[in-house]
Amino acid sequence: MSMWQRDIETMPREELVKLQGERLKWQVKRMYENVELFRNRMDEKGLKPEDVQGVEDLKKLPFSYKNDLRDCYPYGLFAVPMSEIRRVHASSGTTGKQIVVGYTENDLDMWADCFARMLKAVGADENSFVHVAYGLGLFTGGFGAHDGAVKIGATAIPISAGNTQRQIKTMIDFGSTVLCCTPSYALYLAEAAEEMGVLDQLKLKAGIFGAEPWTEEMRKEIERKLNIKAYDIYGLSEILGPGVSYECECQCGMHICEDNFIAEIIDPDTGEVLPEGSKGELVFTTITKEGFPVIRYRTRDICSLNYEPCKCGRTHIRMNKPQGRSDDMMIIRGVNVFPSQIEEVLLKVGNQVTPNYQIIIDRENNTDVFEINVEMSENLLADSVKAIEKIEKQITAELRSTLGIGPKVRLVNPKSIERSEGKAKRIIDRRNLVGGNK
Ligand code: DLL
């Protein structure tokens, strides 16, 4: 079976854990010296870097959170001078402020290696054409896949997201063999190619899909329609983007690149580390990253870890598909959306609308449909239909500029959104995704 870094990917576990311990010691020391927030949290707990001698000491260390990135925006958590940062990426924060992460040259190289492991596992090599239809930009998906493709010597096709007709024509003309995009877009592309009557002209062999939850049924449908094998890849901006973990040819869980990341499963309420195999919140510590390292980062993704040896020979543990979130983040058309971002926009619009809203997400033709009902004020209700339509348009435009996607906004009568025990039900997700909405 083809592997990118066989020595590392099949390293005996004892050796791997020893390596993790050494790297953890190194990381804690340099973070204590260079990242004020981490130093303060260690001091609060009365901990010094010397208190960490191996992986067994990890549980003593303080957690870190998405809000830390907001509070130290933009570069306050970087552990190297900016002159060593080669690239930044960004993602949605819980409020209007995006979160920013940075990579040194070594970090970018490590990231490319992680994605290269995925590519080799799907059978790609220097003769492959890797069609990168994840967004190339501040989103980590596109560049992660692109650098991985270049690393293994394949031909990268950095087409980025959108423009479906052009995607299909390019896949046919350029001979794309590996498709990288969100699973929902893969299905959408398949359907569009079917409608165009060109499915048999595609040369695709495999697909690398992630960035949002997807079901086994979706996998089967993508595989059948595109006549490929569809692989799952996981990542998050704060840790690495795509390539934190990846499926091998056995397609039974995603191997975590444990030489770079230590994973733990905790109880999201108590913070207690749970026994092997339990379901809980996934927490990562980055032990090789230089630019923006994190210790015990709370991903909010709920899943479990599988320590059983895998038939493929890789020794790195596998994580099961994320099965929901311990916060209220949703992923709509591949974009991370927090209800708090929507509330901020509604407050900005002023007193013509109330902050009572309901988000309805559905899936039509394999695309997420995103609608928001907002209760208008009594004053606006008394105004003209035109005035109401104008506010609807204004909210859609504001949301589009904040989130990057524009929902259909409908202003509804005051007090018309159903409340249960006085509380409005904010999110109705009808997509029925395994792992729920993230
Ligand atoms: O989505 C990175 C990525 C890009 C992963 C391309 C895979 C492919 P963020 O935008 O920061 O980064 O979103 C991270 O997406 O915490 C999960 O909740 C969710 N997620 C990512 N991959 C998967 C997956 C990218 N394979 C958040 N299955 C994470 C389910 C996923 N959820």
What pLDDT digit, counting tens, does each position of 197-254 carry? 999 999 999 999 999 999 898 999 999 999 999 999 999 999 999 999 999 999 999 9
CATH 3.40.50.920 applies to domain 330-429: no
Quick check: 422 pLDDT over 70? no
Closest C-alpha to ligand 1, atom 6: 141
Q: Is 95 helix (H, G, I), strand (E, B) or coil?
A: coil
Q: How far is the CA of 284 from the centre of ligand 1 (A)?
A: 14
> What pLDDT does 438 receive?
38
- 438 Cβ inside 6 Å of ligand 1: yes
| Rg of the chain on CA atoms, in Å | 23
Q: How far is the CA of 336 from the centre of ligand 1 (A)?
A: 9
- 301 Cβ inside 6 Å of ligand 1: yes
Substitution candidate for ligand 1 out of 331, 429, 433 with most atoms within 8 A of CB: 331
Substitution candidate for ligand 1 out of 119, 131, 215, 438 with most atoms within 8 A of CB: 438
Bridge partners (DSSP) listed for residue 373? 358, 410
In degrees rounded to 5, what are phi and psi of residue 209?
-120, 135
pTM exceeds 0.85 for this model: yes
CATH for the stretch 1-327: 3.40.50.12780
- 280 Cβ inside 6 Å of ligand 1: no
Quick check: 402 pLDDT over 60? yes
The domain segmentation of the chain, as residue ranges, is: 1-327, 330-429
d(CA 275, CA 285): 18
- 241 Cβ inside 6 Å of ligand 1: yes
Q: How far is the CA of 355 from the centre of ligand 1 (A)?
A: 29
**Lowest mean pLDDT, pick from 53-57, 77-81, 352-356:** 352-356
Quick check: 357 pLDDT over 50? yes
- 113 Cβ inside 6 Å of ligand 1: no
Closest C-alpha to ligand 1, atom 1: 211
Model confidence at 437, pLDDT cuts 50, 70, 90, reads very low
User: From its phi and psi, is residue 143 left (phi > 0), alpha (psi between -120 and 50) or beta?
Assistant: alpha
Tell me 322's DSSP state: P
- 107 Cβ inside 6 Å of ligand 1: no
Bridge partners (DSSP) listed for residue 367? 364
Higher pLDDT among residues 426 and 157, named by residue: 157
**Lowest mean pLDDT, pick from 78-92, 115-129, 308-322, 362-376:** 362-376
- For residue 182, what are its two tokens? 């969100």
- Do residues 330 and 438 touch, judged by C-beta distance below 8 A? yes
Closest C-alpha to ligand 1, atom 18: 438
d(CA 339, CA 108): 32
> What pLDDT does 435 receive?
44
Q: Which atom of ligand 1 is nearest to the CA of 322?
A: 30
